[in-house]
Amino acid sequence: MARAIPLPTAELDADGKPRRWWPGRPSLTIRILAVNIIALGLMAASLFYIDSYRKQLLAERFNLAQSEAEITADALAAAPGKQRVNLLTSIGTERQLRLRVYNAKGKMTADSFDIAGPSFTLADPADETWYQGAGRAIDRGMDFLLGAPPVPSYEDPGEAKLDAWPELVEARDTKQTVIMQRYAPDRTPVISAATPVGKKGEMLLILRNAPDITQAVRDARQNLVIVVAVALIVSVQLSLFLARTIVQPLRLLVRAAVRVRLGRDREVIVPRLPERGDEIGLLARAISDMTSALRHRIDAVETFAADVAHEIKNPLASLRSALESLEKVGDPELRGQLQAIAAHDVRRIDRLVTEIAEASRIDAELSRTTFEPINLVALVEALARARDERGENGGHRIEVVQNGAAPLVLGEAARLERVIENLLDNAVSFSPDQAPIEVAVSRRDGMVELAVCDHGPGIEPGAREKVFERFHSLRPAGEDFGSHSGLGLAIARTIVEAHYGTLAARDRADGAPGARLVVALPAMDAA
């Protein structure tokens, strides 16, 4: 079993040293959590806006207290003595207020609580539950965070004098209604309104306890906290789930990629995640396919290197043997034969090196090439004429047949010419003397097919793929040994595949003996 490769925990900088993970570069899991929690943080910030809700409620109560105080003062100014008592009683009881009247000398002359009993009672914190105490602590904390101005505590002065109430003093001096807020012991607002009564110097003080404002604010805050807490829990769970579905597959892919890179195990399986139909699954399958392609390419390179060494070793051994024997042979005729063998081996090595270099750089050169429109019929006809002029057709007549419209493809003319040259060389080698070689070009299903047919012995079905392997050379009888490198058809297939086409060996369409090599390339209008 392959040894486990630890997952890298740090990248390398330009000097090759591990690069630390600073807070500015958190992991993907932290980023997912941060994105979701920041949104919830913005939502939680709405807790501060509850303060504006509280201020709005207090402003409404201030306006109400001012209206009640001024209306009551007008009613008291117009009411005789006994009616004042009834008026204070009814207003205090119905509106849950405490009304106090002071004469021009500042002495209290009437108190609704003394007349009809208290219409409201301030709560004692000692008698309240723990969560109400927690609510008061939260109220203080929010006031501190918001920088709210301090509010004095409510304490009954215990004196029946006007000077004990700052709002009464201010209202008396300004002849206007003055509103003031204090906190009761349970931290509920106590709203007082002081206003003049008539023109005789009397003053009215109205007190109201508003626990409903505090309760409304706390309820709103509590509901929002609950919503934020539930949303936070759900968001964190969803974020962790999302992180697991993204990060864990990526970590699997990273581990596999590291093991492939280190080359510790040629059988490392890159997970394909077939159950994932999203981008992660596509990435996994793409990496798996890429890894397989790289392994195939590496294996091909290794095999090619081994084949090259084997193919060059034979002519080198023959050349060395001929040169070593040349020094010992005195017969001029035999020396001439050895020199001919050495020259033949040199040409064979030169041919092998040339073909090997050509095969090695095909992929790299084609990857940088811009394809252009090419008429295959015109290309074949021009090549056939050039071969005739050079005498390379060996007395064979090349017959070019076009079926249908002009077969245009996208490609590099020089490389496609090399393909056709190799196919014609192969056909000339195996065809009997004076036998024609047919080249048919046709269009079929968005592909342009070029078929080269000869009248030789043909290719057995079991060997039709082997003929395209590098250094596979099944030559006709009578041909000089080493005249071909065995790379011609392999190079041709490599070029065709680089043009997104195929090259295969098939039976002749007319049933006659001979080989039929078919090149299929995408037509230009379908490419």
Q: Model confidence over 419-477: pLDDT tens digits?
A: 898 888 888 888 888 888 899 998 888 899 999 998 888 888 877 777 777 666 555 44
Percentage of residues in the chain having pLDDT higher than 90: 21
Q: What is the pLDDT of residues 73-94, one digit of tens each?
A: 999 988 887 788 889 999 999 9
Measure CA 252 to chain center.
16
- Domain-embedded: residue 236: no
- Domain-embedded: residue 363: yes
pLDDT of residue 66: 93
Q: How many domains does the chain have?
A: 3
pLDDT of residue 10: 41
Highest mean pLDDT among 10-24, 255-269, 355-369, 382-396: 382-396
Q: Are residues 451 and 334 in the same domain?
A: no
pLDDT of residue 171: 93
Maximum Cα–Cα distance across the chain: 163
Query: Tell me, what CATH number does 457's domain have?
Result: 3.30.565.10
Q: Are residues 526 and 381 in the same domain?
A: yes
- Whether pLDDT at 389 is above 80: yes
Mean pLDDT of the chain: 80
Choosing from 368, 395, 428, the residue where a domain stops is: 368
- Whether pLDDT at 483 is above 60: no
Choosing from 368, 403, 430, the residue where a domain stops is: 368
Among 4-13, 77-86, 228-237, 389-398, the range scoring the smallest mean pLDDT is 4-13
Q: Are residues 398 and 296 in the same domain?
A: no
Q: Which domain holds residue 66?
A: 47-221
Q: Tell me how far CA of residue 275 lies from CA of 240, 246, 252, 287, 288, in angstroms.
A: 20, 14, 15, 16, 15
> 198: which residues sit within 8 A by CB, 6+ positions away?
73, 76, 77
Q: Are residues 387 and 350 in the same domain?
A: no
Amino acid identity, position 196? P
0.85 cut: is pTM over it?
A: no
pLDDT of residue 355: 65
Q: What is the pLDDT of residues 101-149, one digit of tens each?
A: 999 999 999 999 989 899 999 988 888 888 888 888 888 888 887 778 8
- Domain-embedded: residue 323: yes
Q: How far apart are the C-alpha atoms of 513 and 495, rounded to whole Å? A: 27
- Give the CB-side neighbour count of residue 15, counting CA atoms within 13 A: 3
- Domain-embedded: residue 39: no
